Amino acid sequence: MFVIAIDGPAASGKSSVSRLLARKLGCLDVNSGSFYRAATWAVLDAALPLTDESAISSFIAAMDIQCTLQEGHTVLLLNGRDPDAHLRDAAVNKNVSRISSYPDVRRVLTNLLRSLGQRDSLVMEGRDIGSVVFPETPYKFYIDASEEVRAARRYAQGETDSIARRDAQDSSRKAAPLIISEDAHVIDSSHLTLEGVVSEIIGRLKMKGLNVTL
């Protein structure tokens, strides 16, 4: 079993990269941001005051979170409800960095994410996968792209999302901030195609001795 960790800032292209890489390797693809987005949606839906860290932490700790696998992807149910249609709502984009800065929220989701790595080989993308969730994996990547390219990608997706603000919050928080792990292989995707990034990763995985059968 293997875990491939892919971290990077918002709209760096890491979700598309992870999806394609997992498809090529025939393993599970886990978008950890969708876990933080789902938790944020549940908090908004419950109308909890967003600055009340202790109420939000207790709410998340008490929540029934079911994570099942379907066609190589994770499917979440929070207290029996499917958050999927709301994960990219403007209100979620706006508040997800705040909710994911709360250490007790992170503890719950980190445990859940780690449990997936015990069940299956996977590609997991996020902000702290190589640094905190799976620090022991030898397969760590950090995907970056220039701010202009990232803003253009979000704009093309038609979303209201201030990625610069989110990046500043995600990088400056105390609990598991976005950092480049010392042992991560950094790829600037600004001028690369999706296939280009994925083949660079596959080349690196082979070099590191992972038995890649495509």
Of 41, 32, 129, 114, nearest to 79 by C-alpha is 41
User: What is each CA distance from 193 to 95, 123, 127, in whole angstroms?
Assistant: 30, 19, 22
**C-beta of 107 vs 212, nearer to ligand DC:** 107
Min CB(36)–ligand DC separation in Å:
3
User: What are 71's two structure tokens?
Assistant: 């066609």
**Collapsed DSSP state (helix, strand, coil) of residue 162:** coil
Binding site for ligand DC (CB under 6 A): 10, 32-33, 36-37, 96-97, 100, 126-129, 166, 170
Min CB(163)–ligand DC separation in Å:
8
**C-beta of 27 vs 101, nearer to ligand DC:** 101
User: What are 3's two structure tokens?
Assistant: 């875990």
**C-beta of 83 vs 126, nearer to ligand DC:** 126
User: What are 59's two structure tokens?
Assistant: 């709410």
User: What are 19's two structure tokens?
Assistant: 């999806």
Min CB(129)–ligand DC separation in Å:
6
**Contact 89/41 with Cβ under 8 angstroms?**
yes
**C-beta of 166 vs 185, nearer to ligand DC:** 166
Min CB(188)–ligand DC separation in Å:
18
**Collapsed DSSP state (helix, strand, coil) of residue 67:** strand
Of 34, 118, 29, nearest to 72 by C-alpha is 29
**C-beta of 67 vs 212, nearer to ligand DC:** 67
Of 201, 171, 148, 152, nearest to 6 by C-alpha is 201
Min CB(181)–ligand DC separation in Å:
13
User: What is each CA distance from 91 to 17, 78, 99, 104, 123, in whole angstroms?
Assistant: 26, 18, 12, 21, 28
Min CB(92)–ligand DC separation in Å:
8
**C-beta of 26 vs 61, nearer to ligand DC:** 61
